[in-house]
Chains A and B, each alone.
Chain A
Amino acid sequence: QQQVKQSPQSLIVQKGGISIINCAYENTAFDYFPWYQQFPGKGPALLIAIRPDVSEKKEGRFTISFNKSAKQFSLHIMDSQPGDSATYFCAATARTGNQFYFGTGTSLTVIP
């Protein structure tokens, strides 16, 4: 059973456009939601994370929107750049949980 569902599987965006990746979860015990960026041959790198006490968090061009009632959260990449081309994973965990539950990943391609 997939604890965190991520969509779309792949995304192609023009340079300068907005990339949007969505995730949904079921377990209401989850209270920490990070996003990871992974380049080929590398490990996932923590990009940005949010806790459910806020509805939005912004760091540079990256924004997480969080909807607690809908149990959904999304990553917005503003002014997308070719260097943003990577696979993005959402994840969720509980404060007392030992493991992260990951989405299946979104392969983002930003076309120059």
Chain B
Amino acid sequence: KAGVTQTPRYLIKTRGQQVTLSCSPISGHRSVSWYQQTPGQGLQFLFEYFSETQRNKGNFPGRFSGRQFSNSRSEMNVSTLELGDSALYLCASRIDLGTEAFFGQGTRLTVV
């Protein structure tokens, strides 16, 4: 069974640009969550989608957005990039609430 796939693995963007990251969950998993990981703040919750609906959102500015498609694949978008957005962005997939969550390899975003 294939794991959680995140693309691209690495990105370098310039301040002010926007970026889109993609996540393909494990087959049969309908819940996709996104987390930002930085050395200073650790793993912080961005948002969670289930069946194309955002069910919860963390404490991040509106520049961070996401969506989920009918096949459960999810994308997150960050607009007007800032240097502080440099981080490892992780996607987690699970069947639904209360079940195990499995992470992808992450997308390493560097904003210069």
Contacts and interface: CB of A to CB of B under 8 A. Distances in A.
Contacts of A36: 103
Contact of B97 (A46, A96, A105): A96
Contact of B103 (A41, A44, A97, A101): A44
Contact of B56 (A41, A43, A95, A99): A99
B90 interface: yes
B102 A46 contact: yes
Interface of A: 32, 34, 36, 41-46, 49, 89, 95-105
B45 to A, nearest CB: 4
B104 A43 contact: yes
A102 B37 CA distance: 11
Given A96-B98, A98-B55, A43 B43 contact: no
Interface of B: 4, 6, 33, 42-43, 45, 48, 55-56, 58, 90, 92, 97-98, 100-106
Contacts of A100: 33, 43, 45, 92, 101
Nearest to A103: B42
Contacts of A44: 43, 90, 103
Contacts of A45: 103
Chain A CB within 10 A, most for which of B33, B42, B56: B42
A101 B48 CA distance: 13
Contacts of B58: 99
B72 to A, nearest CB: 16
B106 A98 contact: no
Contact of A43 (B33, B42, B45, B106): B106
A46 B104 CA distance: 11
